Amino acid sequence: GQQLNQSPQSMFIQEGEDVSMNCTSSSIFNTWLWYKQDPGEGPVLLIALYKAGELTSNGRLTAQFGITRKDSFLNISASIPSDVGIYFCAGSRWSGGSNYKLTFGKGTLLTVNP
């Protein structure tokens, strides 16, 4: 099935460093979402973006909805050990709620060295 192009595949950083990951698509999405998944758990919603150009923050996390509606990025500032996990981007063609399926990227594995 279709998946979004998410990069990088993995990152290994030192505690306190900033992190950036992004997601691109060949087609337009009207909603972009970022999830974090810990081993053996389901994805947990971090940030939801509903409007092209929108920049949204959630604590140390900042995400942007690309102007072309074909991309999004997630930044994590001042990383801490509990940021370890797999980060997924997801796109929906519905603007807002759960009326449409989500298409996911393959994920970015983040490792933080204390």
Partner 1 sequence: DAGVTQSPTHLIKTRGQQVTLRCSPKSGHDTVSWYQQALGQGPQFIFQYYEEEERQRGNFPDRFSGHQFPNYSSELNVNALLLGDSALYLCASGTDQETQYFGPGTRLLVL
CA 13 to chain centre: 17
Non-local (6+) Cβ contacts of 1 within 8 A are none
The three-state secondary structure class of 16 is: coil
Site residues for partner 1, 46-75, by CB under 8 A, read 48
Site string for partner 1, 70-99 (x = CB under 8 A): ------------------x-x-x---xxxx
Q: At 26, list the tokens.
A: 């060949």
Q: Which stretch binds partner 1 (CB under 8 A): 13-21, 42-50, 53-61, 74-82?
A: 42-50
CA gap 19, 95 in Å, rounded:
27
Q: At 8, list the tokens.
A: 């990088």
For partner 1, the closer of residues 42 and 59 by Cβ is: 42
DSSP character for 107?
Answer: -
Least distance between partner 1 and beta carbon 100 (Å): 7
For partner 1, the closer of residues 15 and 95 by Cβ is: 95
Binding stretches for partner 1 (CB under 8 A): 1, 3-4, 6, 31, 33, 35, 40-45, 48, 88, 90, 92, 96-107
